[in-house]
Chains A and B, each alone.
Chain A
Amino acid sequence: MSIFEWSFVAAVLTSATPILFAALAGALCAQAGVFNIALEGQMLWGAFAAVAGSYYTGNAWAGVLVAVLSTAIYSVILAVGAARWKADPIIIAIGTNLLSLGLTGFLLRVLFDTSGSFAPQGLDGIGTMPFLKGIPVIGDVFAGQSVLVPLAFVLIVAAGLWLRLTPGGLRLRGVGEHPDAAATLGIGVARYQTWVTILGGGLCGLAGAQLSLGNVTLFTENMTAGRGWIAVAAVILVANKAFWLPVACLGFGAAEALGFRLQGIGAPQQLTDAAPYAITLVVLVIMRVVVTRRRTHALTPKETLV
């Protein structure tokens, strides 16, 4: 089996998309000055809600809707707690992450009378794009993907443009960069932060839905398995710039997809599972070294003294 082929690119996209949605949520929150590390738990809740919604209604899109709305509601704890009440976002996030893990496992037992994983017969997954078949390259890469995959890229471009070009985007960045100055200009800092965090919750719902109804059609306990943290790392890596997120997330997607390939040719699963985390950390370090070096070169001697 050759390592590079179009199906591999497709696998990279599949792995990267959930992380991409979550990372966009993290980047928007970071731009508004909210350190959101609740992505992991919100994504896990979204994955569960999507499967539950699709199971009860028989329609994957109803599942996606349930995931987006319920995760947005779930994120109100963080939004109101951190932005309005000024509680520590890290502690809230640790709590809500643990709560998601417990609650999804609990509901799995109570609602579906199963533990570990839930994959009912005929669970409706998110539709793919078979009409793209036959188009060279695009067809190979996208035809088998869920519709949410291109949506992730559309949303990232839209968010990037919104941040750069619109007054709302400028205010959001202002709120993050200099909350006091933004408040002086009459911008409701807490209100902006609250709504961005809730919007981020909705995006994490999409991330979860893509994970449980797009990449596969099942839910397993703790199925996010650290993807939310890789999204946080991606946000740090690109210094909150939404436009660069695809680069970072596709990198992580490539690490995961490569892992699957290497497993196929006999590499131990334990080591390929660990690769995305190790690679993420190494890339973070390399980026910091490069950025710091460039920055110190750019500074005049006078500035370096300060």
Chain B
Amino acid sequence: MIARLTRHPAVVPIGAVVLAILIGAVVILLAGLNPIDAYAAVLQGSLDVRNLDYTFSVWGFICGMGLVAAIPLRMGEFNLGGNGQLVLGGITAYVVASQLGLPGIVAVPLALIAAMLVSGGFAAVSAPLATRFGIPIIISTLLLSPVAVAVASYLVRFPLAEKGSGNAQTPVLPEDAHIWSLGDLRYTTVGLLLIIAVMVIFYIVDSRSAVGFELRVTGANRRFGEYAGLKPGRLALGAMGSAGAVAGLVGAIIVLSSPYRFIDGALISPGYTFAGLAAALLAGGRPALVPVTAILFTILQVGGASMERTAEVPRQLSDVLQGVVIVILALRVVLDRRRAGAGKDS
């Protein structure tokens, strides 16, 4: 009975999280602070009814960035350039929404589409770099990302800067170009529904379509895929293009939501990209699980601030826990192998 329970597929991810939380507790203890207070503050801060509006919006962003990592992960590629793709989408959306002078009903959708196109195209560059020039996608995405971040940072500091402001930020978007809120909520907008829609689309494409199957075959065994006539180059182009497009969408939603402007660093500093990557890895790349694993990293992300306030534990602990979860997940193969060995013996 116990043996059967330990073989349940949920054991590994849940075990990784529990272990990471315990390691985190040890780190907090070593720092001379109280882990129970810290974790209580994390839960209180993120699940407080007054904060739920904000928590939901963050969950949407982490789900989106989870997809940005999960889509290429399906074919065994790592997209670590989410920050650049996110920022590029944000700045594109700002330019379209503010500079073209269109009415809101046109400006908002157009800004979202433009952001998806620009970020998608930008991320897709990594595919030919890998297939034609042999530069691994993990490297090219990482090298391209700071370039995009720097360009956006330059634009927001100089040509698009708010006149007379000490901060590196653009002026507030015209009221017409704000993305529609859901009811009287401040942070949760139509953007969250769009991200959920994208997750549903990815789930359907992944599980029901030929492309999704090809993607998974390539991920499981690239040489077999090529032997079967699949084109990894084209698949990579599609996977990176769609991942970039989702990142662009998330960036655009952030900029078109409260506080309705592009602030330099505001898209990157919350760490959505790596929280999303951690969520995608914890979900094993499975699209249906990303929204579930994203909950954990959302709680860590949102609760981190209140942990810092009330329990005096630095919020960087969230990054520590993300890193530990990922390392434990990578090391789980040891457990799998031991289990496989045990199965052979019996």
Contacts and interface: CB of A to CB of B under 8 A. Distances in A.
Given A81-B331, A94-B277, A268 B146 contact: no
Given A101-B319, A270-B150, A81 B330 contact: yes
Interface string B124-142: 0000010001111011101
A277 B147 contact: yes
Given A90-B138, A102-B320, A109-B316, A95 B327 contact: yes
Contacts of A281: 129, 135, 140, 143-144
Contacts of A183: none
Residues of B contacting A: mostly:
helix
Interface string A271-306: 101100110110011001100000000000000000
B270 interface: no
Interface residues of B, number: 50
B323 A102 contact: yes
A102 B317 contact: yes
B151 interface: yes
A69 interface: no
A98 B319 contact: yes
Nearest to A115: B314
Contacts of A98: 274, 278, 319, 322-323, 326
A138 interface: no
Interface in A193-252: 225-226, 229-230, 232-233, 236
Nearest to A77: B327
Contacts of A229: 139, 142-143
B157 A85 contact: no
B157 A268 contact: yes
B151 A274 contact: yes
18 contacts: A85-B331, A86-B337, A90-B78, A94-B277, A95-B323, A96-B327, A98-B322, A101-B319, A102-B321, A105-B316, A109-B316, A226-B143, A226-B146, A229-B142, A270-B151, A271-B151, A278-B143, A280-B143
Interface of B: 27, 31-32, 78, 80, 129, 133-136, 138-140, 142-144, 146-147, 149-151, 153-154, 157-158, 274, 277-278, 281, 314, 316-334, 337
